[in-house]
Amino acid sequence: MPHEVAYTTSKGAIASITPTPADHLADQAITLNTVNPGPVDTGYAPPDVHAAVARRFPAGRWGVPDDPARLIAWLATDDASWITGQVINTEGGFRRGT
């Protein structure tokens, strides 16, 4: 993402700081995680970009808003109570280097 330095820097910063507040909140039984949704089709990409990005997924499709939402909903349940301070990628196998 050579033309998106500020965007990738901010994503890296969020990933880097995630463990610190998670550690501070753990004693209060509060979990904190970061979810990286990867490319999600929210209608912002023009058709040529949409097609090019879709080819970078093994399934040949962008994520839809419900894809990361299901993970986030699960993280809010008791089943995920042991997961904290993590950066979780939910990006359908998105290939950045191809």
Asked if 87 and 15 count as a contact pair (C-beta separation under 8 A), the reply is: yes
Q: Which residues are catalytic?
A: 7
Under DSSP, is residue 74 helix (H, G, I), strand (E, B) or coil? helix
The pLDDT score that the predictor gives to residue 7 is: 87
pLDDT digits (tens, 9 = 90+) for 64-79: 999 999 999 999 999 9
pLDDT digits (tens, 9 = 90+) for 5-25: 998 899 999 999 999 999 999
Q: Which amino acid is at 67?
A: D
pLDDT digits (tens, 9 = 90+) for 23-62: 999 999 999 999 999 999 999 999 999 999 999 999 999 9
The pLDDT score that the predictor gives to residue 4 is: 81
Q: What are the residue boundaries of the structural domains of the chain, listed by start?
A: 5-89
CA angle, 4 then 56 then 35, to 5°: 60
Taking the C-alpha atoms of residue 55 and residue 63, their distance in angstroms, rounded to an integer, is 12
Whether pLDDT at 2 is above 80: no
Single out the residue of 94, 73, 97, 84 nearest to residue 26, CA to CA.
84
Instruction: Tell me which of 3.40.50.2300, 3.40.50.720, 3.40.50.300, 3.40.50.880 is the CATH number of domain 5-89.
Output: 3.40.50.720
